[in-house]
Structure 1
């Protein structure tokens, strides 16, 4: 297996007969999926998603892919191809289209409907190109064939990309459910046909590569969901992804069977389910769906709510119900059905929500205590099956954290792919497919771009470090009035302390530190206020570390007397 190295430099010019692949997101993380293909002087973008922030990203709303590597080549983009409609694959699209709105956006019917609704909110009118499984279309130098795959949202597509450099098969997010609710299975016949043609590079979903066996079918969840609706004594509140049409269908069917009325809660849930219903992907039983106001007039034992918040997102409906900031109040006897898996990194947030709901008297049913969710991703057995079916020349695992990528690579090797033809790359690593061989040739910028309110990229790692310090250590403002002639303190400094546990007068002991700093600066001829503030910040921070074993954020303010 080949791995990226920190000493990688910028890649060399691309050979005219080669295909270049650069992951700008989704490698080493679950989310923010975006891959750029380059051939013949043109680019093809596959997906453009977002990553949701973790607790160590205070104040951040979303994490976007870094477009730096392609920003001066936006006119070379032939198309943006979307594999399916999940946020980690389409959520970054508005921010890329802001920079070039006329790029054709290619996807299936449901995917484009979700995209159109999202872009309308951003006041972007996109050029949409609808495709379906079995379609084959050319975008610039790229001949794309679309293959049906089964996932936790309808209308998922794998993409076979043909160029003069070879054939690449990208699975998108997929699993091999043989009994899907919509009857749309992963098209293994198409995979086999592509295998006969010869797959030069297989890019494979890695999310469940550590999970043995096969992912269970959606249909196997029906008894557990039915049991919740049968046994719940009062109101039922179901949380799910706002795009999980299959799970919502199962909930609506159970509600019909047990004579409960249902209302959707949350803007994204209402919007997405209306789209799915209008397009025929969601079958809403007659008389089951009502408005929230009408539902509240019914006896609790005849009602159910479907809302967002299965990942513990602080602003989603379920989390707000748990902390009593939502208009819907959790009551003793309510049953909460959390019908989604846990995205890595969200475990603590979900646990907090479960504890909050339980505190108010609700009974919480989740994946840990009932079979109420199955993954949308192929497990190790399915991946091995695909490798044996396709027999690719080269493999590039995608969509997963490092441990997922590594586990996927090991499966490929066990099925007979030569280790030197298995490439594990991280975001920004450049892989070239040349004469049937995939190899790492360099690296381009691919850092985190933070969306903070309306500011894109305004939050830096340094700013996040300051925010984390503020949260954990507190802040001390040092107001120093300095005599412009002597460079000495005109009066003792003021220390304004917030969020730092201390006794009154503790920081008076830092006065000599400030005096010594200013004396040393004057001796060295340093009189610029900004430079003085930097020196005071450094020295007072070191003093606080020695004195208290803590290191609050120091904000010095130097004023000339």
Structure 2
């Protein structure tokens, strides 16, 4: 585990591999890692983390790219394991710092990246398409790509050869033996690399606490068919905008049940258009309709595929739950299917949407009451299998919260990897691999980089705290006009509040007390605006806390005349 007292990492020795996780170890999202040998840096993934209730007003959270800002010229390439937002969402922000970094990814992954770069107006980029059999040499790194199965097509793992040793990185993966697209994780390649010798195995940890094997995608089909068969009115299916396999299943069932399909949500429309154009999504003819045409069909003739499965406040599904969507108005008897997993941290948002839909009389089907989604990550049984065929010398679990990383390390030890050769690290920890031995050598700062509108990284923890107070506790403004020379209160105090008191007359009980306190302070020689504002803040703060048990943000304003 990372420790507060770790020293600044020493200078990197020759022929040593230095690994620094810049995101993704300790939380689910913003995956990114820096691997350095002899002064040359290879980056793996560059994703975003979506904000939760603790980050009011924040749009996205980036990995610790500030940690490599001074080393941009040393980067030989960025390798993307797959096209999920938590692995590619921050690519435009990195390429704005240096646009010609070679970016390697499979066909679908790069198509999704191109769309992001177009939206961000990032030009003069160097995108290089690879597949599961590709090999690349980037200065100090020889890279072999390995096909893996995940919840998005075209995912890959990586096998790296360096002067410091070999590394096998799984990316996000599972071992579905009957995948919908026929693309399985290439375990023969895993075993082959294991026979060559894997000095460091970096393994997906998301489902390390889940026993057994992850349920195959095809096993959810009966549950989906039941939902379609029992939905007598409008059916809305919410899922990840990148889950091509799930949307394919929905399209197929819509055709069987005689329903038309409409996409809702900008990212859903964009991503499914890309997947269709590249051949990853098979859309039967005369199936898709525009959202504006839904009103021309009876509710039972349409299925709507929507974003918002994680309860995002501005998503299409949240707007439906709040009766704020301009085109879709749900009625009692309609059905909403949440065909996705619950990302840790989003529980409150998702439950809020489910409750809102339920109040409308909508039937809500989700993973908690039906088998309508399976994970895209390997469970404990699959991880044990991989450890046994790879037989790595050292293990560093990746992708997950701390509990997932620890559980994954325990699995490695159970298969015979020495405990001292497994290392659980968090973002910013610096690990060196030299002559087959792995050691934590220091720590760098890889704190959250916030995107707030068009501003990147300028939001401080203090500002976030203020926003949380505003959102949770409300705020009070107090205005008073004084003449400090005569110790007179000329106007006010005028008190207004938002967030806990709808009627400002509740402050009548404290208004006179504040007025008396201000006059007394001025008579005692207090003529500084800041000190008079503090008098107001203390008086009203104590009163609000005692009366309402709240600690709102208090904004006093004292004006001299």
**Band of TM-score, shorter chain:** over 0.9
Q: How do 1:42-53 residues align onto structure 2 when only pairs under 5 Å count?
A: 42-53=40-51
Q: Measure, in 2, the Cα distance between the counterparts of 1:198 and 1:507.
A: 76
**Distance in structure 2 (CA, Å) of the matches to 1:411 and 1:174:** 16
Counterpart Cα distance in 1 of 2:534 and 2:198: 57
Q: Secondary structure at 2:507's aligned position in 1?
A: coil
| Residue in 2 that maps onto 1:506 | 510
* 1:351 and 2:355 aligned: no
Evaluate the alpha carbon distance shift between residue 205 and residue 521 of structure 1 in structure 2; reply closer, same or farther with a 3 A threshold: farther
2:115 aligned to 106, 114, 117, which one? 117
Secondary structure class of the residue paired with 1:306 = strand
Deviations 1:271-294 (A, max 9, x none): 111111111111112222222334
* 1:396 has 2:396 as partner: yes
CA offset at residue 510 of structure 1?
4.2
* Conservation of the 8 A alpha-carbon contact between 2:24 and 2:427: yes
C-alpha separation in 2, matches of 1:215 and 1:547? 52
| 1:542 to 1:40, Cα distance in 2 relative to 1, 3 A | farther
1:548 Cα deviation from its structure 2 partner: 6.1
Question: What residue number does 2:387 align with?
Answer: 387
Task: Confirm or deny: 8 A CA contact 2:489 2:518 kept in the other structure.
Answer: no
> Helix, strand or coil for the counterpart of 2:153?
coil
Deviation at 1:545, TM superposition (A): 4.8
- Checking the alignment, whether the CA contact within 8 Å between 2:482 and 2:491 is kept in structure 1 is no
* TM superposition score normalised by structure 2: 0.93
Matched, 1:273 2:277: no
Q: Which residue of structure 2 aligns with residue 288 of structure 1? A: 287
Report what 1:242 is aligned to. 241
2:108–2:154 contact (8 Å) kept in structure 1: yes
Q: CA deviation at 1:494?
A: 2.8
Tell me if 1:444 matches 2:444. yes
| Rounded Cα–Cα distance in structure 1 between residues aligned with 2:181 and 2:354 | 31
Tell me the residue number matched to 2:95: 97
Q: Give the aligned partner of residue 128 of structure 1.
A: 127
Name the counterpart of 1:182.
Answer: 181
Q: Does 1:220 align with 2:224?
A: no
Counterpart-to-counterpart distance in 2, 1:532 and 1:521: 11
Aligned mates of 1:515, 1:446 — CA distance in 2:
50
Aligned residue for 1:296, secondary structure, equals helix
CA-atom RMSD in angstroms: 2.4
Report Cα offsets for 1:388-428 as digits up to 9, x if no partner. 11111111111111111111111111111111111111111
Long gaps (5+) in structure 1: none
> Aligned equivalents of 2:331 and 2:115: distance in 1?
35
Within 5 Å, give how 1:162-201 maps onto structure 2: 162-201=161-200
Secondary structure of 1:270's counterpart equals helix
Q: Tell me, yes or no, if structure 1 residue 340 matches structure 2 residue 344.
A: no
Query: Structure 1 residues 73, 409: closer, same or farther in 2, change over 3 A?
Result: same
CA distance in 2, matches of 1:314, 1:195: 46
> Structure 2: how far apart are the matches of 1:103 and 1:459?
27
After superposition, where does 1:423-502 map in structure 2 within 5 Å?
Answer: 423-479=423-479, 494=493, 496-499=495-498, 500-501=500-501, 502=506
Q: 1:108 aligns to what?
A: 106
CA distance in 1, matches of 2:34, 2:265: 34
How far residue 458 of structure 1 moved from its aligned partner, in angstroms, is 2.6
Cα distance between partner residues in 1 of 2:35 and 2:456: 25
Determine the C-alpha separation between the residues in 2 that align with 1:87 and 1:229. 29
After superposition, where does 1:137-176 map in structure 2 within 5 Å?
137-176=136-175
In structure 2, distance between residues paired with 1:304 and 1:14: 57
In the alignment, is the contact (CA less than 8 A) between 1:480 and 1:489 conserved in 2?
A: no
Once residues 536 and 300 of structure 1 are traced to their aligned partners in structure 2, the CA distance between those partners, rounded to angstroms, is 58
Could you tell which deviates more after superposition, 540-549 or 57-66? 540-549
Pair 1:15–1:317, CA change in 2 (3 A)? same
Query: 1:517 touches 1:539 (CA, 8 Å); kept in 2?
Result: no
Does the residue aligned with 2:397 lie in a helix, a strand or coil? strand
Shift of 1:149: 0.5
Unmatched 5+ stretches in structure 2 = none
Partner of 2:322: 323
Mapped contact 2:510–2:543 kept (Cα < 8 A): no
C-alpha spacing 1:482/1:420, structure 2 compared with 1 (3 Å) = farther
8 A Cα contact 1:35 1:47, kept in partner: yes
For 2:374 and 2:398, how far apart are their aligned partners in 1?
21
Contact kept in structure 2, 1:240 and 1:310, CA below 8 Å: yes
For residue 351 of structure 2, give the secondary structure of its aligned residue in structure 1. helix
In structure 2, how many angstroms separate the alpha carbons of the residues matched to 1:489 and 1:68? 53
Partners of 1:541 and 1:296 lie apart in 2 by 53
1:330–1:360 CA contact under 8 A, matched in 2: yes
Tell me what 1:417 maps to: 417
